[in-house]
Structure 1
Amino acid sequence: MKFALSLLVGAAAAQCGKRSPSYLTWTADSFIEHGVEKNFHYTQATLYLGYEAAYELTGDEKYAEWYRNQIDDAVVLEDGTIKDWDYEFYSLDDYRIGNNFLWWYERTGEEKYRKAADIIREQINRHPRNQAGGFWHRRPVYPNQMWLDGIFMADTFYAKWTKMFDNDNTTAWDDILKQFVLIDSHTRNHTTGLLAHGYDESKTAVWADPVTVNRDSGSAPLVWDRAVGWYFIALLEAIQLFPESHEGHSILVGFYKDLAAALKKAQHKSGGWWLIMSEPYPGMEGNYIESSASAMFTYGWLKGIKLGLISKGEYYKAAKKGYKLLTNRFVRADDECLLNWEGTVEVGSLCCNGTYEYYISIPLQTNDYKGVGPFMLASYEWETY
């Protein structure tokens, strides 16, 4: 069954002579060897966060060189345009890579990275919105829908760009805050503190039940773990960017603390979290402890402790348990002693009926960057604690 993942890996590091390994550098080295397709997809953008962390940890230029080779010419052209970018396709997923462009601009000062980021920022200005001002997840297939995923994909880039180039623009900060407030107010269950996958303002989607979470919310019925993970990371990113003088900073800190507490209640005794977190599904046949969100939540706690948002006394033990699960259950060494990452669900979408049967039908993937990148972030926080 899906949840019967190998527990060999506490031994995997030892098999490779890595009895006290840096899991971050082992992962970074391994995926250089595995090879990573060059494009601007959000999965690659998520993995590259891990290489930023590996470079921060070690200062080893091989990670920066490899990362830059992934971006230059294959994604960002010399004139600052983005290879194969569609100026008429409006999908929040495609905007995540803008954060990576800004990392390179900060590092090098090269205008091509600023120009590439500006392309995405200008596309955000044109992006369709629902009547309340929230970004559609994608046009035309998800009209009036906001997903937790989209907050991670677009709004922290929007905040990062604003911080760097337009910090005094209160209207922009208000707009960024609006995205978080809308998704939180329509999807958070105030009993559990967890958030459903998304909502449809028009309430026309087959899954948009007006009474499941908040009356008249148009919310999806279920809490899908990775969507919550995207949102958890996005909150941390935005909190570090928002001006402390803006009311949004304290609002986002409140959202983060509430969700951190809800995740503590939802953590399984193994240290991980169920694919579908809403009752009555934890422990139900077909459900399983999933690796990408388990990495995201573990990272989110460790980072929150470091930032002083949550207390070490309350969260460190749970975070330690979570990280131990990641390394014991989801890391596998192959015959060449390259690290492989297991147990990440391929996708989760509100394209369909939003049922439990839909979510558990999606296959698991090995070496899915949506799990690898968050594991690298969690490893960085653990190894620098």
Structure 2
Amino acid sequence: MKKNIGLWMMLLIGTSISAQAQKAVKEFENWPKGTSPAEIGKRVADRFIVTPHTNFGRPTPPKVITYAETCAWYGALKFAKESNSNELLWQLAKRFEPFFGEKASMIPVPDHVDYCVFGTVPLELYKQTKEKRYLEMGQSIADKQWGPPEGKRVVPESHVFYSKGLTWQTRMWIDDMFMINALQTQAYRATGEKKYLDRAAKEMVVYLDSLQKTNGLFYHAPDVPFFWGRGNGWMAAGMTEILTALPKNHPERTRILKGYETMMASLLKYQTNSGMWRQLIDVPASWEESSGTAMFAYAMVTGVKNGWLSQKTYAPAARKAWLALVSKIDANAEVSDVCEGTNKKNDLQYYLDRKRITGDMHGQAPILWTAAAFLQ
């Protein structure tokens, strides 16, 4: 790793403290031994550091970095910041260094929402180190996402969405609302340029108006009438990401906050006695799934600490979810009962039959987001 002066200076003086004040929550303290967010976050982050680049559970190495690994990397960086761990930040930066050289080909081409989310990692590295090469990489990806349609993934609908001021990568899957919002919100945080926040907010409102049902939850896509757990988790986390950045006077904040509050109220009704949520949220016969549960916990913890949600109502639910999730983490700091990667399909049995995986980055990622949120 090159001993870049900017990075080393930041490592010496420490990571910055969050600019946004967070209130203390009694339910988020006094954890049973071995279950605290600080302990769990460190274990899962340390496991990420030594895990080779993953390919959705396949034995062959990936040709490019997958979105699941990206989201875990982003989570580990957030945890490094909130735990004030210079060592973890250095390790995560070291893992990224080859992308400026021999592993540059592993940077995903920014022609799909799942590929563009990679930009959140260099943008977070920039925020914590102020190295401009990270900003240049991440901002370029964010701008490409809103550029004119190009490449092999362009379909007729791409031009329609682009003409409406949305990203041409819009596809109306709820997964998109984390991938798009996380990237554009990160670009705003890194640059202070309002256009990135406006892009994300406009896109989120379109998805809310198009996909949120009267019960507050979301079908996986307009033609897939099932409330898939992780898909709804992506939406919950995406709203959480943008709400932490939207000023109170932003014209889209009220609409997004309403969608978020409606979803959180619905989720309370479906939380199981164990503290988990199910693979299909509203289907009692469906199995309890970890990645969606962790995403909902992240959304609730952040909501309580920012005052968007009632502490009395939501803090106990978030705590219960966290303790349930900790029980799913094995001796290797890998999360069990994680739904495998899932495309949309109008088939109930397809969702019920998805494999349960241990150690999949879809599960590791939101555990890290939630641990960081508890510490913030």
Aligned: 1:311 with 2:335:
no
- The aligned counterpart of 1:357 is 349
Q: C-alpha distance in 2, partners of 1:69/1:22?
A: 23
The offset of 1:36, in angstroms, is 4.2
Q: C-alpha distance in 2, partners of 1:117/1:224?
A: 30
- The aligned counterpart of 1:104 is 125
Amino acid in the other structure paired with 1:301: M
1:98-156 deviation per Cα after TM superposition (whole angstroms, max 9, x unaligned) = 1111111122222221221132123212243545554455xxxxxx7311111111223
**Would the alpha carbon gap of residues 263 and 86 (structure 1) be closer, same or farther in structure 2, given more than 3 Å must change?**
closer
The offset of 1:318, in angstroms, is 1.2
**Contact conserved, 1:129 with 1:135, CA < 8 A, in 2?**
no
Amino acid in the other structure paired with 1:146: M
Amino acid in the other structure paired with 1:297: F
Q: C-alpha distance in 1, partners of 2:148/2:121?
A: 21
Q: C-alpha distance in 1, partners of 2:35/2:198?
A: 49
Q: Give the percent of matched residue pairs that are identical in Structure 1 and Structure 2.
A: 21
**Contact conserved, 1:82 with 1:116, CA < 8 A, in 2?**
no
1:261 pairs, out of 252, 262, 265, with 265
Q: C-alpha distance in 2, partners of 1:363/1:227?
A: 16
**Would the alpha carbon gap of residues 340 and 166 (structure 1) be closer, same or farther in structure 2, given more than 3 Å must change?**
closer
Q: C-alpha distance in 2, partners of 1:241/1:184?
A: 18
2:341 pairs, out of 340, 347, 355, with 347
SS at match of 2:288: coil
1:338-358 deviation per Cα after TM superposition (whole angstroms, max 9, x unaligned) = 3221010111212xx321111
Aligned length: 326
Amino acid in the other structure paired with 2:352: I
| TM alignment of 1:357-376, pairs within 5 A | 357-376=349-368
Amino acid in the other structure paired with 1:358: Y
The offset of 1:76, in angstroms, is 3.8
- The aligned counterpart of 1:244 is 248
The offset of 1:238, in angstroms, is 0.6
Q: C-alpha distance in 2, partners of 1:52/1:103?
A: 7
The offset of 1:34, in angstroms, is 4.1
Structure 1 stretch displaced more, 175-184 or 292-301? 175-184
Root-mean-square deviation over aligned CA pairs? 2.7
| TM alignment of 1:55-70, pairs within 5 A | 55-70=80-95
- The aligned counterpart of 2:47 is 30
SS at match of 2:252: helix
**Would the alpha carbon gap of residues 316 and 248 (structure 1) be closer, same or farther in structure 2, given more than 3 Å must change?**
same
**Contact conserved, 1:76 with 1:83, CA < 8 A, in 2?**
no
**Would the alpha carbon gap of residues 342 and 84 (structure 1) be closer, same or farther in structure 2, given more than 3 Å must change?**
closer
Aligned: 1:197 with 2:223:
no
**Would the alpha carbon gap of residues 224 and 252 (structure 1) be closer, same or farther in structure 2, given more than 3 Å must change?**
same
- The aligned counterpart of 2:148 is 126
Aligned: 1:45 with 2:39:
no
Q: C-alpha distance in 1, partners of 2:247/2:241?
A: 12
Q: C-alpha distance in 1, partners of 2:341/2:71?
A: 14
Amino acid in the other structure paired with 2:367: F
The offset of 1:242, in angstroms, is 2.1
The offset of 1:246, in angstroms, is 1.6
The offset of 1:268, in angstroms, is 1.4
| TM alignment of 1:1-385, pairs within 5 A | 18=34, 22-37=39-54, 39-73=64-98, 75-77=99-101, 83-85=105-107, 90-124=111-145, 125-127=147-149, 128-131=158-161, 133-135=165-167, 137=169, 145-165=171-191, 167-169=193-195, 173-190=197-214, 192-199=215-222, 208=223, 220-278=224-282, 282-284=283-285, 287-328=286-327, 330-333=328-331, 338-350=332-344, 353-382=345-374, 384=375
Q: C-alpha distance in 2, partners of 1:91/1:35?
A: 23
Amino acid in the other structure paired with 1:55: A
Q: C-alpha distance in 2, partners of 1:33/1:108?
A: 22
SS at match of 1:117: helix
Amino acid in the other structure paired with 1:32: I
- The aligned counterpart of 1:3 is none
Structure with the higher helix share, 1 or 2: 2
**Would the alpha carbon gap of residues 274 and 340 (structure 1) be closer, same or farther in structure 2, given more than 3 Å must change?**
same
Amino acid in the other structure paired with 1:194: L
**Contact conserved, 1:76 with 1:113, CA < 8 A, in 2?**
no
